[in-house]
Every structure is written in C-alpha cells, then in structure tokens.
Amino acid sequence: NAGVTQTPKFQVLKTGQSMTLQCAQDMNHEYMSWYRQDPGMGLRLIHYSVGAGITDQGEVPNGYNVSRSTTEDFPLRLLSAAPSQTSVYFCASSYSNRDREVEQYFGPGTRLTVT
Amino acid sequence: AQKVTQAQTEISVVEKEDVTLDCVYETRDTTYYLFWYKQPPSGELVFLIRRNSFDEQNEISGRYSWNFQKSTSSFNFTITASQVVDSAVYFCALSEAILTGGGNKLTFGTGTQLKVEL
C-alpha cells in the first residue's frame, strides 16, 4: 500500500491564482480530511468527508473547496489564492478498528507559498 | 468547544536528561480520545499514542511514557534519557465522537518544540 499520497510536495502561487492540492489513499478508508499547519497554531481542520459524495466544513473552511467523487481521492481547491493561505497542508484518511478506535494516517504534506 | 493547551512552546535539554511535555485539554464530552504526534524536522507526522477517556492507565513504551489524569484534564508525555533523535515538535490532540465513516475531527495543541543537545 502507498498509504496517503499528496501532490505536489511544494508549490508557489501568486495571489489570485487557483490550484488543486491532490490527496489519494489506497486503503479504502471512508473518512478523509484536510488540515493546515501554521507556525504557532498547530494543525487546524479545513474540510472533511465521511464517504464518497459527502463533505463538510471544519474549523477553517473559508477560501477552500472540496469534493469527494471517489473513495480514493479528496482534492482541495484554492479558487483564488491569498497570502494568508501560505501554509503546510496535510491530508489524512482513517478508519475505525474493531475496538472502535480511529486509526488515522497522514500524508507527507504539501508546502504552499502564496506571494 | 474542545481545546488543547500545550503551554511549553520550546524546551531544550541535554542528552540523557528526562523531559516532560505537558498537555491540558478541555471538552464537554464524556467520551473522547487523546493523541500524541511527533513531527521531526523532515516534516511528517508520526503517531505515538492514542488513549480513550475510559482508560486512565498510564502507558510506557520504551523510553516514552504517558500520564493520563482526568481529574486535572491532563495527558502528559515523558521521554526518559532523551536522545538527539528525539528532537522534534510534539503535538497533543483531542477528538470527540467517532464520525460515520470511521473518522474523527482532531483538535491539536500548538505543539512543543523539543531540542535535545549533546
């Protein structure tokens, strides 16, 4: 299994540009999520999905769109990038094991800079 | 709303010293889960431990140990005989109910940067 993969690893955008951060998992997990990490603020939840076709907002959803057309993929779209979106983005997928505990898998992260 | 506080922004120790990283949480739920993650300089997130609110047993894994105290809403992490390879940012996190699809929404603390020097 490749686990959770994210592309690209690094990206520089200009203000106003759009782009999509890709996230894919090959573990057949229903639940996927996006977090952003900013200095001194830990990780914060942007959007999450409990299954294909279902998405919901997290703590900091403004400026981001998501969709979940397949179980495997959960792309994060920035429609008009702003410098405040400079951050490291982590995608995660998870499942609940037999003991009803969540096993969470994080991707390697995408470092985005908006100038 | 849930909240995780890691009051120690940065800790520096000399190798072989013991070090404790503090984590204090707030939640209104009776069922919740606590986590510790390590983020080495390479940037990935490494899962260390998960603990549910019904299990207050302390846990030891090699040089790592965790002390969960519901009475003080704390879940502290101790590294015994620290090593240079322990240098990283450590995050404490909290989640409440498990959602449909087998996931949960994590609330992270702001992290503690641990520097272990020779």
Q: Which residue from B102, B105, B108 is facing A30, i.e. has the nearest CB?
A: B102
Which of A28, A34, A36, A43 to substitute to test the interface with B, most B CBs within 10 Å? Answer: A43
Contacts with A100 from chain B: Cβ below 8 Å? 98
Residue-level pLDDT at A1: 73
Looking at the DSSP bridge assignments, the partners of residue B60 are: B65
Q: CA of A45: how far to CAs of A68, A84, B112, in Å?
A: 16, 16, 19
Cβ-contact A12, A111 below 8 angstroms: no
| Contact criterion met (CB < 8 Å) for B33 and A106 | no
Cβ-contact A10, A109 below 8 angstroms: no
* Mean pLDDT computed over B89-113: 92
The minimum CA-CA distance between B23 and chain A, rounded to whole Å, is: 13
Give the pLDDT of chain A (115 residues) as one tens digit per residue: 789 999 999 999 999 999 999 999 999 999 999 999 998 889 999 999 999 999 999 999 999 999 999 999 999 999 999 999 999 999 999 988 888 888 899 999 999 999 9
**Given CA atoms B1, B50, B6, A60 in this order, what sign does their dihedral have?**
negative
Question: Could you identify the residue written with the tokens 């969960």?
Answer: B68
Q: CA of B20: how far to CAs of A40, A58, A95, B65, in Å?
A: 20, 31, 30, 9
Contacts with A109 from chain B: Cβ below 8 Å? 43-45
Residue-level pLDDT at B63: 96
